[in-house]
Amino acid sequence: MVQALVLEKKGELSLRDIDLPLEVGPDDVKIAIDTVGVCGSDVHYYTHGAIGSFVVREPMVLGHEAAGTITAVGVHVKNLKVGDRVCMEPGVPNMNSRATKLGIYNVDPDVRFWATPPIHGVLTPEVVHPAAFTYKLPDNVSFAEGAMVEPFAVGLQAATRARITPGDVGLVIGCGPIGIMTALAALAGGCARVYISDLSAPKLAIAGQYAGIHPVNITERKLADVIAAETEGWGADVVFEASGSPRAYDGIFDLVRPGGTLVLIGMPVEPTKFDVAAAIIKEARIETVFRYANNFDRAVNLIASGKVDLKPLISETFDFAQSIEAFDRAAKGLPDDVKLQIKLRG
Ligand SMILES: [Zn+2]
């Protein structure tokens, strides 16, 4: 039995002992977990008991944004050794699947993803994970930053799918954690500047700390007017929708330049309409983003290079014993909170 933060059912968390498999297979590593980020999806399972067709039917350990230290390696493992500091990619596909062979393992229907029912997450002191989905952290990347690699990888997936050309003007709709990660990834990917829009002034102030990110408060100014004014009426080269709000789609192609790109990241809860004719008239390219593939190592590289500093986004760190408190705080959705983390080791 090991201790873990368990979502018993919708609205009920407990920090208790649970049986989890800790056998190290030939291609696996065992990791002593140091830091775990609290993600919107973890919180959503807590508050709603489900995300789409994924329903919590039995107790499930939460947490999927994690970093720690290798404590054991399987006999076939060559890339990692005991004592290495690492972060882990939470989704493990079927290595023999058609999607995996195509390099798009994130959309493998058989993917097993931490803290997505019925797969347990990693808010527990030790986990076993395939070495192929475990990434070494350079000495200058902290565990706290290592636990930010997962959400940053979503931003990098968006920037990659956008096929940014150096000098592009970007716009991110939605200033939540993923919106800010996307803006940072778009800058790292070559955007000259990135606008980011939201209704929340505190969130925009956090994003606006970064050089190259320009906040737009849509309670004060119409987004289409701002983008038109800033681009001589041409539009943004790449628009990233990271709010998940159906309202974001009203007039969204007014923001995209002719021949520009719209990247869909935020997942609306309900089927959502958009103006097909407006997209066609501009011959806009539409891309979608589901998690990430082959972006964890790139995320680590960018953090280690100093080009991307995610530390200002860590709002507060809780001890493992305060995990439930951390989730209750995250569930409040305070506008000044970007990322809350839980530290399992002192
Ligand atoms: Zn996450």
Query: How much distance in Å is there from the Cα of 63 to the middle of ligand 1?
Result: 8
| Mean pLDDT to the nearest integer, 213-231 | 98
Token couple for 326: 């951390």
Q: Are strands 314-319 and 339-343 parallel, antiparallel or unpaired?
A: parallel
pTM attached to this predicted model: 0.97
Query: How much distance in Å is there from the Cα of 65 to the middle of ligand 1?
Result: 6
Query: How much distance in Å is there from the Cα of 154 to the middle of ligand 1?
Result: 9
Distance (Å, rounded) from C-alpha 64 to C-alpha 115?
6
Do 337 and 329 meet the contact criterion of CB atoms below 8 Å apart? yes
Distance (Å, rounded) from C-alpha 343 to C-alpha 346?
7
Helices (H), the chain: 40-48, 98-101, 143-146, 149-162, 177-188, 201-207, 223-230, 276-281, 296-305, 323-332
Identify which of 112, 156, 121 has the alpha carbon closest to the alpha carbon of residue 38. 121
Kindly state the DSSP code that residue 249 receives in the 8-state scheme. Answer: G
Give the phi and the psi of residue 23 in degrees, each rounded to 5. Answer: -80, 130
Mean pLDDT of the chain: 97
pLDDT at 346 over 90: no
Distance (Å, rounded) from C-alpha 227 to C-alpha 285?
19
Query: How much distance in Å is there from the Cα of 189 to the middle of ligand 1?
Result: 21
The 10s digit of each residue's pLDDT in 116-148 is: 999 999 999 999 999 999 999 999 999 999 999
The 10s digit of each residue's pLDDT in 28-55 is: 999 999 999 999 999 999 999 999 889 9
What pLDDT shows up at residue 52? Answer: 85
Query: How much distance in Å is there from the Cα of 180 to the middle of ligand 1?
Result: 13
Query: How much distance in Å is there from the Cα of 169 to the middle of ligand 1?
Result: 27
Query: How much distance in Å is there from the Cα of 254 to the middle of ligand 1?
Result: 30
Beta pairing partners, 67: 35, 87
Query: How much distance in Å is there from the Cα of 283 to the middle of ligand 1?
Result: 33
Query: How much distance in Å is there from the Cα of 188 to the middle of ligand 1?
Result: 20
Sorted by sequence, the CB contacts under 8 Å of residue 45 that are 6+ apart come out as 7, 10, 51, 54, 56, 60, 62, 115, 117
Query: How much distance in Å is there from the Cα of 172 to the middle of ligand 1?
Result: 18
Residue with tokens 């789609």: 249
What pLDDT shows up at residue 110? Answer: 95
Query: How much distance in Å is there from the Cα of 66 to the middle of ligand 1?
Result: 10
The 10s digit of each residue's pLDDT in 168-194 is: 999 999 999 999 999 999 999 999 999
Kindly state the DSSP code that residue 211 receives in the 8-state scheme. Answer: T
Distance (Å, rounded) from C-alpha 195 to C-alpha 137?
31
Do 193 and 212 meet the contact criterion of CB atoms below 8 Å apart? yes
Do 13 and 323 meet the contact criterion of CB atoms below 8 Å apart? yes
Query: How much distance in Å is there from the Cα of 289 to the middle of ligand 1?
Result: 14
Query: How much distance in Å is there from the Cα of 114 to the middle of ligand 1?
Result: 10
What is the amino acid identity at position 346? G
| Mean pLDDT to the nearest integer, 81-93 | 98
Query: How much distance in Å is there from the Cα of 257 to the middle of ligand 1?
Result: 31
Token couple for 242: 């990271």
What pLDDT shows up at residue 183? Answer: 98
